[in-house]
Amino acid sequence: MKGKYKSFLKIGLISLLAAFSLKACLVADIPESNITTEKNNENNSFEIASAKSVRPFKNIEINGVDYIQARGKIGKFGGTLYTSTIGEGPKTFNPWNAKDATSSTMGELMFDGLVATDPYTGEVVPQLAKSIKVLPSNKEYIITLRKGIKWSDGKPITAKDVVFTWNDIIIAGYGNTSMLDSIMVNGKPPKVEFIDDYTVRFITPEPFAPFLRILGQSIAPKHILEPVVKKGKKEFASFWGVSTPPKNFVTSGKFKLKWYIPAQRVEFVKNPDYYVVDKKDQKLPYLDNYIMYIVGDLNNQVLKFEAGDIDILGVRGSNVARFKELEKNSDYKMYNLGPNTGTAFATFNMNRKKDENGKYYVNPVKQKWFNDINFRKAVDYAIDRENMVSNVLHGVGAPLFTAESYSSMYLNHKLKKGHPKNIDKAKELLAKSGFKWNKSGKLLDKDNNKVEFNLYTNAGNTEREAVGVMLKQDLEELGMQVNFKPIEFNVLVGKLNNSLDWDTIIIALTGSSLEPHGGKNVWTSTGALHLFDQRKEKDLKNIADIREWEKELDYLFNLGAKTLDIDKRREIYDRYQEIVYNQAPMVYLYSSLRIFAIRKKFGNINPTKLGGMMHNLEEIYLKE
């Protein structure tokens, strides 16, 4: 498997570098931190973080403890890094129950997994694990843990914690069920067996290509969470919530929760017993504190950066030219990390179920529209993506048509150019399904119902709000009445996951450049993020409820997980993107470039496309 895995990475990195063409010349002036090959280095005059220049992670033993030795320069201890997030802040500090990006980020700071992805090469590397052995069957994995490493309360991290996390939390279906969705092969989870205090065996039902990366799931402290799990899923879901005193957290990551002030900031303090050391064998992190401000919207985020309140900023397209011009006389440096790994899209509520009172969750009239492929494709053809890129992203991005991002090594290149806006084509599609226009140009369905629906997105994200206004205008050219309503993110998530009280939504999902299997929870019939038609296992008793193309997606994601050959995997994931493109349950909009500005006062800033800006947070230090 190792040979195939390395080939998989090599092909992926070449694809990643070639996938995206810059839409604005000004971006070419920003150094592009990337995963480079020798050929790339010959033609790149920018300062870049090259995989060839970075040695592999090194395991070292100090006084009986198995540490990871960091790869950056020797730094200084002390100081604080200030960052920010938009929205209302985290919904939980329980990483196994996190369903939003902010909460997940908090969990990643405080809890580590058995493995991680090397931000320079994309290879899977040990983290809490000291070593991983894959047996010839490609179904059995022997994990050896680091000896001597501890939870923040001083208790040892052992194989019992690993087995508990997998068997009693993930496989038992506690917390965010997306974790369980991602590990199932033919409806079966892996077997997880305790060998001894520092050895665990995983056995998958069949060869399972994504499994090494999936081992990166955070490990939980058994001695803390076992009593909670025994009380049931409801108790677990509320455990380590946002009102939990920081002293009650027992963690393994580089930082610990110090203080949370709702709607203002989250403060983290370094973990003094973290198992990463520098080249002088000094325990990291270098920074004493990591503070994340909670800002209401993107504009406030920019103002905080300009005022010096935060040290790092994701620069949106509208600000790139100005920030680049000011950079020469500023205290910050800008980086271009290439195309976003996530995808932005509009989706329709295609749910056809009734509640316990026999009432449809979705208005039956709208339900017919949203389940009509001609209606969905008409919306697709009516959208002026080029206009969105020009006016919202200010050219710092490109139109998006596929379920895989431009950074993905599995991007379907036959579909990536998509199609231009075509109102005539859109009207032709609507007419095929009996839609018509009255004398005022308003669109009516075949039963003379006026086509009017609500479009939601999360308030505070000014980029998405602007896109919502443009989408509304585009669809009005078809005679549709679109009521655009930005709402708080937590309310939006509640509509998606609980009430199903929505028509259409503009939102985005994170993704991976190296592994498309994470999309399983979006595209399989019972996936927790099957947004356009949320289902539970009990809803599948009537197989007629599942559309034929959904059945094929179920099959493809199951097959893709079991397929190790890279070329065959490409064919499988090309086909899934083709189905999504043709059926349009989610209409993809644009892909932005990841442009960042960070203060020059920090050392060991080595951003990469795969790892982002903060992949080596424990190594970053304050130079002043």
pLDDT digit string, tens, across residues 607-616: 999 999 999 9
Binning pLDDT at 50, 70 and 90, where does residue 315 land? Answer: very high
Give the pLDDT of residue 178: 83
pLDDT digit string, tens, across residues 244-270: 999 999 999 999 999 999 999 999 999
Q: How far is CA 431 from CA 348, 383, 434, 436, 542, in A?
A: 20, 18, 5, 6, 32
Residue 345: CB partners within 8 Å, gap ≥ 6? 400, 506, 507, 508, 509, 586, 587, 588, 589
Tokens representing 426? 């859109």
Residue 180 CB coordination number (10 Å): 18
Q: What is the DSSP string of 431-492?
A: HHTT-EE-TT--EE-TT--B-EEEEEEETT-HHHHHHHHHHHHHHHTTT-EEEEEEE-HHHH
Give the pLDDT of residue 541: 56
In whole angstroms, what is the distance from residue 79 CA to residue 531 CA?
42
pLDDT digit string, tens, across residues 563-572: 999 999 999 9
Most confidently modeled of 27-31, 314-318, 420-424, 457-461? 420-424
Whether residue 549 contacts residue 583, with contact meaning beta carbons closer than 8 Å, is answered with: yes
Residue 317: CB partners within 8 Å, gap ≥ 6? 392, 393, 394, 395, 396, 397, 592, 593, 595
Tokens representing 467? 């896109």
Whether residue 83 contacts residue 312, with contact meaning beta carbons closer than 8 Å, is answered with: yes
Rounded to an integer, the average pLDDT of 523-546 is 77
pLDDT digit string, tens, across residues 412-424: 999 999 999 999 9
CA angle 507/512/513 to nearest 5° reads 120
pLDDT digit string, tens, across residues 211-230: 999 999 999 999 999 999 99
Tokens 């493109």 belong to which residue?
581
Higher pLDDT, 522 or 99: 522
Give the pLDDT of residue 36: 24
Question: Which letter, b or e, does each residue of 581-611 get, where b requires 16 or more Cβ atoms within 10 Å of its Cβ?
Answer: bebbbbbbbbbbbbbbbbbeebbbbbbbbbb
Q: Is 209 helix (H, G, I), strand (E, B) or coil?
A: coil
Give the pLDDT of residue 538: 58
In whole angstroms, what is the distance from residue 116 CA to residue 618 CA?
14
Whether residue 467 contacts residue 506, with contact meaning beta carbons closer than 8 Å, is answered with: yes
Kindly tell me if the per-residue pLDDT of 143 is higher than 60: yes
Closest among 347, 450, 342 to 406, alpha carbons compared: 342
Give the pLDDT of residue 297: 87
Rounded to an integer, the average pLDDT of 147-165 is 97
Kindly tell me if the per-residue pLDDT of 620 is higher than 60: yes
Tokens representing 567? 């070329």
Question: Which letter, b or e, does each residue of 145-164 get, where b requires 16 or more Cβ atoms within 10 Å of its Cβ?
Answer: bbebbebbeeeebbbbbbbb
- Point out the least confidently predicted range of 64-73, 484-493, 571-580, 587-596: 484-493
Q: Cα 534 to the chain's mean position, in Å?
A: 19
Cα dihedral 556, 557, 562, 567 in deg (nearest 10): 60
In whole angstroms, what is the distance from residue 408 CA to residue 455 CA?
28
Average pLDDT of the chain, as a whole number: 89
Q: Which domains does the chain have, with CATH numbers?
A: 2-56+248-339+595-622 (3.40.190.10), 343-593 (3.10.105.10)
pLDDT-above-70 percentage for the chain: 90
Long-range contacts of 541-544 (CB under 8 A, 24+ apart): none
Kindly tell me if the per-residue pLDDT of 602 is higher than 90: yes
Amino acid at residue number 587: V
Residue 526 CB coordination number (10 Å): 18
